[in-house]
Amino acid sequence: MLSKTISLGINGIDAHLVEVEVDTVRGLPGFTIVGLPDSSVKEAKDRIRSAIENSGFLFPPKNYIVNLAPAEFKKQGSNFDLPIAIAILVHSGQTDIHTIPYPMVGELSLDGTLRAVQSTISMTLTLHKKKFDHFIVPYDNRYEANAIDNIKIYPAKSLNEVIKILTTNTKPFTDTRQETQKYFSIDFSTIAGQEGIKRAAEVATAGYHNFLMYGPPGSGKSMIAKAIQGILPKLTKNQAIETTIIHSNAGVLPINSGLITTPPFRSPHHTSSHISIVGGGRIASPGEISLSHNGILFLDELTEFQGFLLQTMRQPLEDGVITISRAAGTSVYPAKFMLVGACNPCRCGYIFDPEIECTCTNAMIRSYYSKISGPIIDRIDIEHYVPRIAYEKLTNNSGTEASATIRERITECRLIQLERFKNRNYSFNGQMDTEDVRKYCQLSIEDENFLINSSQKMRLSARSYFRILRVARTIADLDKKEDIKKNHILEALSYKNLPRNYEMFLS
Ligand SMILES: [Zn+2]
């Protein structure tokens, strides 16, 4: 008799229901899996046979056929081991179970123990959406699965424990674990003498604006970038679920962890491979730009990254997603990150330094500038020069604000934005579309003329004009003002201070 159970497969970032059917047909003993399994699923056969025998059951020598339906998407990974094994045991009448009531996933070891699988949280979410209310998962995935409300989770350590869950009245798992808020050890209070850049970082973070710091070596640009992590507010529940889904899908969620509640901070090196940053690979996996979703993507030495890579970042910077095309199909991953970049203003770094002389030739400056001004600069909302400051001054922390205080202001400012954009598919000023800019960034006629004239004088593009309005909105929100005033515009304009063309660089 045919035996059936429900499991789940992963396609891109989404989990899909998969019906696992087991039957035997005439013929010599065998084991065939159909329904578009890839090689990793086919490897399941030996694990399943060994796990069944080592759990005290028999693996009757018959000709098994396993069907994974629907056949339209490729089944990857080891998550079908458990449902196939259980269906075989039910089919061969070795348990008291006749129909299998709960969906399940899990990889089997040869001895019958269950190993964690990736993307359990996406699977739980799909089951919840499809009105299932029970789910059997490997023990090490229990917190992740239990992060979704209103579905009962049954963690199991082995094949035998799963049989026990299915045949006795087992209580569901009730403990939830949230990652405790871990902040990077650099506190803003330990960075003295950089008040301008700290304010710029606060505005950028409050409104989710892309942020570029440029300055000579040793000015503390990467230290400031790392300190920004400490002023990011905790993720909302929805953001935490989205972030955890991506990290679990990429296989970087530590075992036994629950929801990620701290915004991610990712800083890939400029020598990292294109796939590791953008995502992709034979079995598609999210890259750094998706792992930084709802957090920060920090590109130190921005000009050292390949031009092609920076070009690829245009789509996520505009749309908040990245589309990855492979032979097996197209996957779309979320990639709504705040870009924080740092670079030298010229090859040697000292072009604007009052004390150290720049050793670059005009040709070197021209070629370097084309790298900064290329694909990225139009998508940066806030640019800020970071001057070199004597080390003693940099670490003298008298009278400066602690990260926790700044974080409180940013959290309040973000609440205003979350309320403003509650019916949108974005949440922050930095992500506003032009229609919303027109609605929420209205200026008096006098201020509008002032901004238009200033933009022309500063040779800013039309795109930059809208970016300034978005930043001015955030500054007004930090100021708890409904209307954008001239002082907000002036501050926003001051964050467009990278010379707009190469000649201005030389003057
Ligand atoms: Zn130079």
CA of residue 412 to ligand 1 center, whole Å: 41
Domain assignment of residue 502, yes or no: no
Query: Based on the domain organization, do 261 and 408 belong to the same domain?
Result: yes
Specify whether the CB–CB gap between 248 and 333 falls below 8 A: no
CA of residue 268 to ligand 1 center, whole Å: 25
pLDDT (average), residues 153-158: 97
Domain assignment of residue 487, yes or no: no
Instruction: Round to whole Å and give the CA distance between 121 and 293.
Output: 16
Per-residue pLDDT at 487: 97
CA of residue 307 to ligand 1 center, whole Å: 21
CA of residue 361 to ligand 1 center, whole Å: 8
- pLDDT at 256 > cutoff 90: no
CA of residue 205 to ligand 1 center, whole Å: 30
Per-residue pLDDT at 313: 86
CA of residue 168 to ligand 1 center, whole Å: 74
Report residue 504's pLDDT band, with 50, 70 and 90 as the boundaries: low
Domain assignment of residue 297, yes or no: yes
The SS3 of residue 173 is: strand
Report residue 39's pLDDT band, with 50, 70 and 90 as the boundaries: confident
CA of residue 341 to ligand 1 center, whole Å: 19
Q: How many helices (H) and strands (E) does the chain have?
A: 21, 17
Per-residue pLDDT at 394: 56
CA of residue 255 to ligand 1 center, whole Å: 47
Instruction: Round to whole Å and give the CA distance between 21 and 254.
Output: 32
Query: Based on the domain organization, do 132 and 280 belong to the same domain?
Result: no
Describe the strand order of the beta sheet including 3-11 as a list of residue ranges: 3-11, 14-25, 63-69, 30-34
Per-residue pLDDT at 243: 96
Per-residue pLDDT at 400: 80
Per-residue pLDDT at 497: 81
Per-residue pLDDT at 58: 94
Domain assignment of residue 181, yes or no: no
**Which residues crowd ion ligand 1, with CB under 5 Å?**
346, 348, 351, 358, 360
pLDDT in tens, 369-386: 887 776 677 789 999 999
Query: Based on the domain organization, do 279 and 355 belong to the same domain?
Result: yes
CA of residue 348 to ligand 1 center, whole Å: 4
Kindly state the DSSP code that residue 416 receives in the 8-state scheme: H
CA of residue 222 to ligand 1 center, whole Å: 20
Q: Which of 369, 400, 428 is the last residue of a domain?
A: 428
Query: Based on the domain organization, do 67 and 205 belong to the same domain?
Result: no
Instruction: Round to whole Å and give the CA distance between 38 and 40.
Output: 6
Per-residue pLDDT at 11: 87
pLDDT in tens, 22-37: 999 999 999 999 998 8
Instruction: Round to whole Å and give the CA distance between 71 and 36.
Output: 6
Domain assignment of residue 461, yes or no: no
The angle that helices 44-54 and 81-91 make with each other, rounded to 10 degrees, is 60
CA of residue 357 to ligand 1 center, whole Å: 8
CA of residue 368 to ligand 1 center, whole Å: 9
Domain assignment of residue 174, yes or no: no
How far CA 80 is from CA of 8, 321, 374, in Å, comes to 8, 29, 47
Query: Based on the domain organization, do 245 and 120 belong to the same domain?
Result: no
If residue 167 lies in a helix (H) or strand (E), which one and from where to where? Answer: helix 159-167
CA of residue 389 to ligand 1 center, whole Å: 18
CA of residue 349 to ligand 1 center, whole Å: 5
Per-residue pLDDT at 506: 57
CA of residue 309 to ligand 1 center, whole Å: 25
Report residue 73's pLDDT band, with 50, 70 and 90 as the boundaries: confident
Range name among 18-27, 187-196, 266-275 with the lowest pLDDT average? 187-196
Instruction: Round to whole Å and give the CA distance between 172 and 174.
Output: 6
Say which residues have a Cβ less than 8 Å from residue 456's Cβ, sequence separation at least 6. none
pLDDT (average), residues 344-360: 91
Report residue 202's pLDDT band, with 50, 70 and 90 as the boundaries: very high
CA of residue 491 to ligand 1 center, whole Å: 28
Query: Based on the domain organization, do 314 and 231 belong to the same domain?
Result: yes
Query: Based on the domain organization, do 87 and 197 belong to the same domain?
Result: no
CA of residue 344 to ligand 1 center, whole Å: 9
Q: What is the CATH number for 85?
A: 3.30.230.10
CA of residue 358 to ligand 1 center, whole Å: 4
CA of residue 499 to ligand 1 center, whole Å: 15
Instruction: Round to whole Å and give the CA distance between 1 and 284.
Output: 37
- pLDDT at 410 > cutoff 90: yes
pLDDT-above-90 percentage for the chain: 65
Range name among 125-139, 182-196, 285-299, 474-488 with the lowest pLDDT average? 182-196
For residue 33, the enclosing domain spans 3-167
- pLDDT at 507 > cutoff 60: no
- pLDDT at 50 > cutoff 80: yes
Per-residue pLDDT at 373: 72
- pLDDT at 203 > cutoff 70: yes
Domain assignment of residue 78, yes or no: yes
Query: Based on the domain organization, do 236 and 159 belong to the same domain?
Result: no
pLDDT (average), residues 427-455: 95
Per-residue pLDDT at 98: 85
CB atoms within 10 A of CB 102: 18
pLDDT (average), residues 342-363: 91
Specify whether the CB–CB gap between 230 and 405 falls below 8 A: no
CA of residue 382 to ligand 1 center, whole Å: 23
Query: Based on the domain organization, do 127 and 225 belong to the same domain?
Result: no
pLDDT in tens, 279-314: 988 777 899 999 999 999 999 999 888 877 888 888
CA of residue 304 to ligand 1 center, whole Å: 15
Domain assignment of residue 236, yes or no: yes
Please tell me the total count of domains within the chain: 2
- pLDDT at 412 > cutoff 80: yes
Q: What is the CATH number for 235?
A: 3.40.50.300
Say which residues have a Cβ less than 8 Å from residue 388's Cβ, sequence separation at least 6. 215, 216, 218, 219, 353, 355, 356
CA of residue 196 to ligand 1 center, whole Å: 23
Per-residue pLDDT at 216: 93
Instruction: Round to whole Å and give the CA distance between 104 and 136.
Output: 5
CA of residue 350 to ligand 1 center, whole Å: 5
CA of residue 458 to ligand 1 center, whole Å: 23
CA of residue 277 to ligand 1 center, whole Å: 29
Q: At which residue do the structure tokens 């930084």 appear?
A: 292
CA of residue 117 to ligand 1 center, whole Å: 51
CA of residue 504 to ligand 1 center, whole Å: 14
CA nearest to 230, candidates 46, 403, 9:
403
How many residues can be counted in the chain?
Answer: 507
Query: Based on the domain organization, do 200 and 288 belong to the same domain?
Result: yes
Higher-scoring residue by pLDDT: 217, 326: 217
CA nearest to 257, candidates 267, 249, 248:
248
Query: Based on the domain organization, do 101 and 130 belong to the same domain?
Result: yes
Q: Which of 374, 395, 428 is the last residue of a domain?
A: 428
Query: Based on the domain organization, do 159 and 236 belong to the same domain?
Result: no
Q: Average model confidence (pLDDT) for the chain? A: 90
Q: Which of 364, 399, 428 is the last residue of a domain?
A: 428
For residue 70, whether the previous peptide bond is cis, meaning omega lies within 30 degrees of 0, is yes
CB atoms within 10 A of CB 214: 24
CA of residue 366 to ligand 1 center, whole Å: 11
